[in-house]
Amino acid sequence: MTPVRENSDSMKIYINGKLYSKGDAKISVFDHGVLYGDGVFEGIRVYNGRVFKLAEHMDRLYESAKTIMLDIPLPKKNLTKDVIEIVRLNGLKNAYVRLIVTRGAGSLGLNPFTCKNPQVIIIVDKIILYPPKFYKEGLTVITVGTQRNIAEAVSPRVKSLNYLNNILAKIEALNSGVPEAIMLNSFGFVSECTGDNIFTVKKGSIFTPSIYMGVLEGITRACVIDISRAAGIPVKPIVMTRHDIYNSDECFLTGTAAEIVPVVRADGRNIGAGKPGQVTRFLMKEFRRLARREGVPAF
C-alpha cells in the first residue's frame, strides 16, 4: 500500500494508508482500541535516517496481534514498507515511531467480532523519555505495590494498548518523587519496570529476569544480551529478587525509548558505588554505536 498525501502540514500521520495532519487524524469513538484498549502497538526508533530493528518490531507486532486474534489488514511486508515511507515523508532522521493497530469500530459491548475494520496508525515524532542528566548520573527507583499482570490474565509478551497496569505503577513512582518503578509479579519476584526491562551486574556477570517472570521480550533487551555476549560478558536470565538488585554492583534499564539508562539507587539503597558502573557505561556506548550504524534506510 502506498500512502496517499491528504494535505501539506508538516506532521503526517498515517491512518489506513492515507496521511493526515495532526489536527485531522481521527478514528471513531466506537473503536475498541479507545473503548477497551483492544489493540497492539510497537515503539520503534529511527537513528540517522535508519529505522532500527524494524524486522524484529514487525515480528513482535504480528505475534501480539495473533495472540489476541486481531487480523492486521495488510501483509507484514507491505506494512514494513509503509513504516519506512512515512518516516521518510516526515523528514525526521532521528525519531520515534508509534505503530498502532486497533480492533476498529464496533458495538459498545465487549464482543470484538462486531469490529470489522481494524485501524492501522503510524505516528512519527520526537521523544525524550529521560533528561540527559539521568544518563550521566543515573536514576533513583522504588518498588511499588502495583503488581505486574499475571501471564494467565494478559500476557506481558503481548504489547497491548491496555497499559493501565503500567500507568498505575508509574503514578506510584511519580507520587513518590522518582521517575521509574520496579514492578513485582504475583509471587513477589522482580518482573520489569513500568516501561523498561531491568538488568543487574554482579561480579562481572549480567542478570535479568527470565521472560517467565512476566516481562516483555524487549527489543533493546535482546540487543543488550547480544552485545554483552559478543564482548564475552555472561548474561543469565534468572528468578530475580529485590535482594539481588540491592546487592548488585550495577543496575540499568533498557527500552526502545529509554535506550540504556543507569540505576544508582533503589528503595533508599545505593547500587554499588551509587553512580553508573563500568559495564553499564560500556553497554551504553556500544548500543549507541550499534543503533547509529544499523537499520533500514528511510532516506
Length of the chain: 299
Strands 197-202 and 205-209: antiparallel
Catalytic residue (choose from 159, 170, 203, 236): 159
Residue 77 to residue 74: CA distance in whole angstroms = 8
The three-point CA angle 63-59-37 to 5° equals 50
- The reply to whether 202 belongs to the active site is no
Alpha carbon distance 19, 163 (integer Å): 26
Closest CA to 290 of 49, 97, 52, 84: 52
160-196 residues labelled b (16+ CB within 10 A) or e (exposed): bbbeebbebbbebbeeeebbbbbbbbeeebbbbbbbb
Active site residues: 159
